Amino acid sequence: MTAKRVFTAGVMDWGAQGVPEMLSALTGAGVTHLWDVRDGTTSGPFMSKWAEKNLSAACATAGVEYVRRRNLGVPKQLREVLRGPGVTGAEQLEAYAAHLGGRGVELPGVLADLLAHPEPALLCACRSGQACHRFLLADLLGVRALNVAPQVEG
Ligand SMILES: [Zn+2]
């Protein structure tokens, strides 16, 4: 039986380190599958390292299976709603759930897929502490999110 928890990681947390460093931390935690739940992979010199093509290649090298689940992503418009002033956690959950429903995403199916993997991790772009959908998704699925962020130096 699989434990009801999932690792998570945010690209913005790992920006200063890099893809190999993040993957090494995730595999160190036992992660075998990386679910990329970003809505889009942004362009630009910084983000290109984290684009789908590069990330999936880096995962292959690290022995992690890369799973692209774009349908779980949050478009910019919704991101702004989630991070709006005074928006409560319950409202964030509701807005994200409504968005997923609108895309025809069925959460029980997503949960079954996720937990079918030995040790999955959810990846999105957000920095920890932002109203971030990787945590909202874990909440909606009823699994505990264990965030993997770089160790703070010093
Ligand atoms: Zn997010």
Tens digit of pLDDT for each residue in 6-60?
999 999 899 888 999 999 999 999 999 999 999 976 666 677 889 999 999 999 9
CATH number at residue 63: 3.40.50
- Distance between first and last Cα of the chain: 39
C-alpha of residue 82 to centroid of ligand 1, in Å:
10
Give me ligand 1 centre to Cα 154, in Å.
Answer: 27
Whether 13 is covered by a domain: the verdict is yes
Q: Is residue 76 part of a domain?
A: yes
The confidence score (pLDDT) of residue 154 equals: 45
CA 8 to CA 30: how far, in whole Å?
12
Domain total in the chain: 1
Q: How far is the CA of 12 from the centre of ligand 1 (A)?
A: 10
CA of 133 to the centre of ligand 1 (A): 4
- Residue 151: inside a domain: no
| C-alpha–C-alpha distance, residues 21 and 41, integer Å | 19
pTM (2 d.p.): 0.91
Residue 116 lies in a domain: yes
pLDDT at 1: 42
- Residue 41's pLDDT is 67
How far is residue 42's CA from residue 4's CA, in Å, rounded to a whole number?
31
The rounded Å distance from CA 61 to ligand 1 centre is 25
Ligand 1 centre from 78 Cα, in Å?
11
Instruction: Provide the domain limits for residue 115.
Output: 5-145
Dist. CA 46 → ligand 1 center (Å): 17
Q: How confident is the model at residue 4 (pLDDT cuts 50, 70, 90)?
A: confident
